[in-house]
Amino acid sequence: MIMRGVAIYTRVSTEEQAREGVSLEEQKERLLMYCKALKIEDPMYLFVDEGYSAKSMDRPQLQSLISKVAKNEIKCLLITKLDRLSRNLLDLLTLLKIFREHEVSFISISENFDTSTPSGRLTLQVLGAMAEFERERIRERVIENMEHAARKGKWLTQHPYGYRLKDGTLFIHEEEAEIVREIFDVFVNKGRGYYFIAKELNKRSIPSRYKKQWSNRGVKLVLSNPVYKGTLAWNRTDSSYSTRKLKDEKEWIMLDNELPAIIDKETWNKAQKRINEKPIHSRSQTRPHLLGGLLKCGQCGGGMSISWSGSKNKRYRVYRCSRNKNNGTCTSKGYRADDVEKWFLEGLENLANQLDSEVVVQLSMLERESQKDSEEEVKRLERRYKRKAEAYAEGLIELDDLRKEKRKLNDVKELNTKNKSTKVDLKKYRKEINKAFCKLKYSLESLPVLEAKDLIKLVIEKVIISGEKDIIIQIKV
C-alpha cells in the first residue's frame, strides 16, 4: 500500500518577488500553519519553483508534482493563492483534470476553497477564467499602445544590425551599414549564398549583431529584414505560442519610407526573389561542371548529373539523366559534357537575338500591365484615404495619421502621372539586352567554373536537352 501524502507547492518569479515581496519562505510558513491548524499529520511533500513564470507548465517542480500525482502518492495539494499554480485557464483545467482522475483535492487558502466539493471546483474555474481574462486585457492594452507607437514610426524593440537607437528613433551606424550593403551586393549581384557570405565575414573577423560569428541564419535574417529598405514592419508574428506563428497579412503594420534606408528597394526586392527561389542541390553548386543542377532531361524532366566514360587514359565527362542512371525508368541517352556546354553558349547567343526581335511586343505588354497596376493602386489608396477620413471624423485616429495617408496618395498619383508621360526607349532596351547577353557569354568562356555557375544562376532558371543540339534555355523573369 502506498502512503498518500499532502503536497505543498510554492512558486515565485524573480520580478514578482522584487515587486510584491511574495517570498517562498512566507508561502511555506502559511501553508504549514494551515496544516497544523487542521491537524494534518500525513507525509508532507514540498515542491518549490523559484524564478519561474506561471504562464506555462514548463516548470521542473510542477512536473515533479504531476509525476507523483500520477503515481498516486499525493492525496491533497495546498497552495497560498491560485496564481501560484497557473495564470492560464487551459493549463489550470488540465491540472484539475489530472487531480480529479487521481482523486487529489486542491486547496487554495487565500481564495478559501476546496476542490473536493462541487462548489469549490466551480469557484476555482470562475476565478481562473477571471484571472486569464484580466491577463488578456492587460496584453491587449500593451499591444494597442505598441501599435499606436509603431504607426507613428517609433522603433519598439532592440536596434537591428546596421543601426543604433536613441529615444525610439533609429539612425544608421555607417560602419555596420557598409557590411549590410556588401552582404546584399554579394548575394544579389555576385550570386553567392549564405554560407559563402558568412564564411568571408568570419574570415575577416567582422562580428555580427551580438558580437558573435556570422551564420547562415544570421545572413538570411539581414537579407530578409525590410528595415534595410526603410520599411517599418511590426506585428507580423504572434509570440504568445511556444513557437512564433506568422499572422495574417491584414494584421501587419508595414509603413514604407518611415526609417532611414541602407539599401534601395530594387536591391531588396531582388534579394527576396532569390531567397524564395528553389535552391539548387548543394553538391551541384560545388562540383566543377558548368550546368550541374541546371540541366534537365527533355524526355522525363529529371535532373542530369555528371558521369565519366571512355578508357582509363582517355576519360571524358558525360551528362546523364539521373533516372536513367539510378533505376532505368528513363531511356534518354548520355551527352558529352563539353558538347552540351558548347551548345549552351551558342544557345545564349541565339536567345539574345530572339529577345532582340521580340522586345518591342514584350515591353508594350509590360507597359500596359504596369499602367493598369498603377491605376488600381491609386484607386486602392483613394478608398483607404476615404476610410481614414471617416475614422478621423469619428475621433478614432489623429490628424497626423490622416495627413500621412494623404501624402502617400498624392505621391502615388504624381508617380503615375510621371510614368504616363515617359515613353520607353526601345532602342536602348535592345542595346542593353544584347550587351547583357554578350557580357554573360564572354564571362562564361573566361571565368572559373564555380564563378561562372554563380553568374548563370542569376539569369537562367534551367536548361533542357532533348536531342542533338536541341537545347532549351529558360531565363528567370
Q: Where are the domains of the chain?
A: 5-144, 152-275, 295-475
On the question of pLDDT at 362 being above 50, the answer is: yes
What is the mean pLDDT of the segment spanning 443-468?
69
**Segment 249-279, tens digit of pLDDT:** 666 667 778 788 999 999 999 999 888 875 5
How do beta strands 304-310 and 315-321 pair? Answer: antiparallel
Q: Tell me which of 13, 53, 116, 215 is the catalytic residue.
A: 13
Contact 305, 319 (CB under 8 A): yes
In whole angstroms, give the CA distance from residue 438 to residue 449: 18
On the question of pLDDT at 364 being above 60, the answer is: no
Under the banding of pLDDT at 50, 70 and 90, the label for residue 446 is low
pLDDT (0 to 100) of residue 209: 80
**pTM as predicted:** 0.40
More confident of the two residues 435 and 202: 202
On the question of pLDDT at 247 being above 50, the answer is: yes
pLDDT (0 to 100) of residue 87: 78
More confident of the two residues 74 and 447: 74
Return the number of other C-beta atoms located less than 10 Å from residue 229's C-beta: 21
Contact 301, 324 (CB under 8 A): no
The C-alpha cell that represents 328 in the structure block: 532505368
**Segment 204-237, tens digit of pLDDT:** 999 988 788 898 888 998 998 888 998 877 666 6
Mean pLDDT is highest, among 211-220, 351-360, 397-406, for: 211-220
Fold adopted by 5-144: Rossmann fold (3.40.50)
Residue 307 bears catalytic tag: no
On the question of pLDDT at 289 being above 80, the answer is: no
In whole angstroms, give the CA distance from residue 97 to residue 81: 19
Task: Please determine, looking at this structure, whether the domain spanning 152-275 carries the CATH number 2.40.170.20.
Answer: no
The share of the chain scoring above pLDDT 70, in percent, equals 66
**Segment 32-49, tens digit of pLDDT:** 888 888 887 777 899 999
pLDDT (0 to 100) of residue 227: 87
